Amino acid sequence: MAAVFSALRWDVEAGIATITLDRPGSLNSLEASLKSELLAALREAGRDPAVRVVILTGAGRAFCAGQDLTERLAPDPAPLDVEVRERFNPLVMAIRFLDKPVIAAINGVAAGAGASLAFACDLRIAAEEASFVLAFGRIGLVPDTGMTWLLPRLVGLGRASELLLLVDPLPAADAFRIGLVNRVVPGDELAAQTRRIALNLAAGAPQALALTKRALRHALESGFEATLDYEASLQGIAGRTADHAEGLAAFAGKRRPRFSGS
């Protein structure tokens, strides 16, 4: 049965699941239903064999403005530590541990935990008009949802400290210059260019892509020798897949491989 959502749009086509955060009136800020639906959609993407790659994007002029602050202003909001542990952390865990590539198509501003979502993705394609506002400090909060782990690894400690302490908006072009986004494209080409990249990934060997994500996760927290050993064991797994045999056969036959995922 097709997944049904109200705060986001879910679309599967040509092996690509596109998740569109769909609360444009509040810049796709994350209130309770959007957080739970996003987690459900990411889990659905993991389960659905028709999905080989995921695109995360936003409706309207924003990617995501982070926590919906009207929820915090309501009477008796959930304690922040509970909210972050139970509602935000599972989102970035789901993205990073999804055994399929996740591309953030950053159509506009990404603020607070909205930026954390983008940084947890495997690739970031930004529209020229996109920007990052690491807004936590502006409302007297600390960076969360993986931000202090992800950002220094993407841009180094110096840049991360500057962005998180000064909280100046970072335009897409500057984000590209410091390696925070992979590409910057005109806004009206974002969907098509992201789709092109997604189609490339969808034609790849699914297990090899999943194992590559796993290897990168492992390497970020391991020493060199441990990494060498882990790479070798993952290569053992990849080497036993039918897709590896198909890759070799395609090479020998001078044709494009057709990877089945087995």
Binding site for ligand T3D (CB under 6 A): 26-27, 29, 65-70, 72, 80, 83-84, 88, 109, 111-113, 133, 135-136, 138-139, 141, 144
CB-CB contact of 107 with 57 (8 Å): yes
Question: Smallest gap, in angstroms, from Cβ of residue 120 to ligand T3D?
Answer: 13
Which is nearer to ligand T3D, 168 or 189 (by Cβ)?
A: 168
Q: How far is the CB of 231 from ligand T3D (least distance, A)?
A: 35
Alpha carbons within 13 A on the beta-carbon side of 73:
4
Whole-number Å distance between alpha carbons of 203 and 246: 13
For ligand T3D, the closer CB: 77 or 200: 77
Q: How many CB atoms lie within 10 A of CB 246?
A: 16
In the complex, minimum distance from the CB of residue 148 to ligand T3D, in angstroms, rounded to a whole number: 12
Q: For ligand T3D, give the closer residue by CB, 66 or 247.
A: 66
d(CA 98, CA 259): 19
Q: Considering beta carbons, is residue 29 or 194 the nearer one to ligand T3D?
A: 29
Q: E-strand spans in 148-225?
A: 170-171, 183-185
- Smallest gap, in angstroms, from Cβ of residue 239 to ligand T3D? 42
Question: Cβ closer to ligand T3D: 142 or 216?
Answer: 142
Upper half-sphere CA count for residue 103 (Cβ side, 13 Å): 25
Kindly state the smallest distance separating residue 114's Cβ from ligand T3D, in Å: 6
H-helix or E-strand spanning residue 200: helix 190-202
24 in Cβ contact with 62 (< 8 Å): yes
Nearer Cβ to ligand T3D, position 4 or 73? 73
**CB 68 to ligand T3D: min, Å:** 4
Q: Which residues of 72-103 are buried (b: 16+ CB within 10 A; e: fewer)?
A: eeeeeeeeeeebbeebbbbbbebbbebebbbb
User: Phi/psi of residue 58, each to 5°?
Assistant: -125, 150
